[in-house]
Amino acid sequence: MEINEINLGKYQINEDGILKYTVDKDGEQKLEVIFPQQIYPNAIIHNITTDNEKLSIRFLKGNQWREVVADKSITANKNKIIELANKGIAVNSLNSGSLVNFLSTIENINYDKMPKYLETSQLGWYKDKFLPYSNEIQLCEIGGIEVKSFKEEGKFEEWLKATNVARQNHKFFRIILASEFASPLLKLTGTLGAITHLWGATGTGKTVALMCGASVWGMPANDDGIIVTFNSTKVGFEILCDYLQNIPLNIDELETSNKANNDDIVYLITEGKGKIRGKAGGGLANIGKWKLWGISTGEHPITTDISKGGALNRIINLQATSKLIDGIDDINELCTVWRHNYGFAGKMFINYIKTLDKDLLIKKYNQYLQQFIKTGGTGKQSMAGAMLMLADELANDCIFKDNLKLTLDDFNGIILSESEVSRAERYHDMIFDWVASNLRHFNGAENVDQWGKIVKNREQVQEIQIIKSVLDKYFFIDVQSKPILTEWRKNDYILVDSKETSFTKILRFGDITARCVCLVPKKDNENMPELIPINDDTLPF
């Protein structure tokens, strides 16, 4: 809004600044300078994320008109508005009250004709629009990832050529790309998010694959692009997820993380909900909510053997045992293409899925889901696999168009079964390994602490009796034992007293008795041979 379009009421604006008509003691009107700078409100901005309003203010600095946007809580307060002095506005403690009154009065007089804009601090879906692909809604920065990183750069044909080379070389590239496209589908289908984690030794091409995937949406870099590292706090990831909303979170370098918090980060990203916090002045702060897919890389799995089953359930683990791209002379050439050509596919994909019937998307997803369930995958693993298949199909329809689609066979060994996810099952196997590496504590050897004993029949292990306090010391330090023991009892993995709530048996060791957990081999291992001592430095005990 230009200055000549503003209704100034009792004010005037000229080279002296802002003037106001006042009445002196003799009852005569006169013009008095109340602010030494030409300035006026020119637009109102409504933030659809916070539901707050901001005021856009134009002002003359030297010979140049500038513009600043400030919260109404600042422009309406004579003490806070002094903060705008940092932006070049000639406000101070003496004239701040006059400026507040002027801005408020001019806004009210011109409210109906003053331009009004929508603003948000979140990307992704807003009704039928998808940000940043809407000119009707402005985006404000939050730090971490800049809005300008989500843009089209270079040539789509160059990007497509390089990306197809990668897709044709290894299925992991297709799964990574499908993960990128799956993210905006989650809200449309009401499906939970997941994390695709690509891990392996240095030099296998993990970062190359992540660059390929991130180039779908924007600049595939972690300095001034849309890739971040694990070197962040849980609160930092929460803010970032709330900002991205439905655009995937691309994370490189697992090794920079605090491994103790990895399970928490997995739950945070995939559950799509921030932490409940109180406000300083009382009440609860707004809780961030999102639905997105995480894509990450590292030299190790994101979870460990002692991770909760819920964390494993939410991860699609891709282990790179060899180079992902073979037969290509210069991998750096592909990376160079993606660094200079990016941001096209995301917009194309969004425009395409907007034309599709939502019920049809859900129907296709459910068809893939049933296929995965029949293979024996867990519920959440099957849901993730089905979403990747759907995303890959849609991306092929609108972008790649080469019918090189993911199949169920591509997920063999990737989608986990119930037993692989179950912490109780994993702990059962780990304890047998632990006993094998500590046989002297179970065979009555002299001068060592006795932790239990092994019951055999013709050299076959029938039962391992472990003193409960020893088991708690070595295995149940950071986890609750009761859920695992309950699962063991349910699956007949332990022998117990007759009590329904019992997990132990009272056994005699020499002259004393002790409560013991009596672990038996799984039924498919009934013919387990004699335990052989091992020396495994990788065991976590």
Give the residue among 491, 539, 538, 485 at the shortest CA–CA distance from 515: 485
Q: Are residues 483 and 407 in the same domain?
A: no
SS3 at position 14: strand
pLDDT by residue (tens digit) across 201-225? 888 889 999 999 999 999 999 878 8
Residue 201's domain spans which residues? Answer: 156-420
pTM: predicted TM-score of the whole model, two decimal places: 0.78
The pLDDT value given to residue 20: 92
The DSSP line for 226-246 is SEEES-S-HHHHHHHHHHHTT
Based on the fold, state whether residues 105 and 160 are members of the same structural domain.
no
Is the separation of the CB atoms in 439 and 533 below 8 Å? yes
Q: Which residue has the higher pLDDT, 145 or 48?
A: 48
Distance, in Å, from the CA atom of 33 to the CA atom of 18, rounded to the nearest integer, reads: 6
Mean pLDDT check: name the lowest of 119-123, 273-277, 483-487.
273-277
- For residue 367, pLDDT over 50 is answered with yes
Whether 54 and 43 have beta carbons less than 8 Å apart is answered as no
Unique residue bearing structure tokens 């930092």: 236
Residues 407 and 467 in one domain: no
Same domain, 409 and 432: no
State the alpha helices, DSSP H only, in 354-455. Answer: 358-374, 379-395, 418-421, 423-436
147 is a domain residue: no
| Number of compact structural domains in the chain | 3
Tens digits of residue pLDDT in 33-62:
999 999 999 999 999 888 899 999 999 999
Co-location of 251 and 362 in the same domain: yes
Q: Quick one: tokens of 402?
A: 């080469």
353-364 pLDDT per residue, tens = 999 999 999 999
86/217 same-domain check: no
Identify whether residues 11 and 87 lie together within a single domain: yes
HSE toward the beta carbon, residue 510, CA cutoff 13 A: 5
**What pLDDT is stored for residue 265 in this prediction?**
87
Q: Is the peptide bond before 132 cis (omega within 30 degrees of 0)?
A: yes
Coil, helix or strand at residue 192: coil
Position 127 in a domain: no
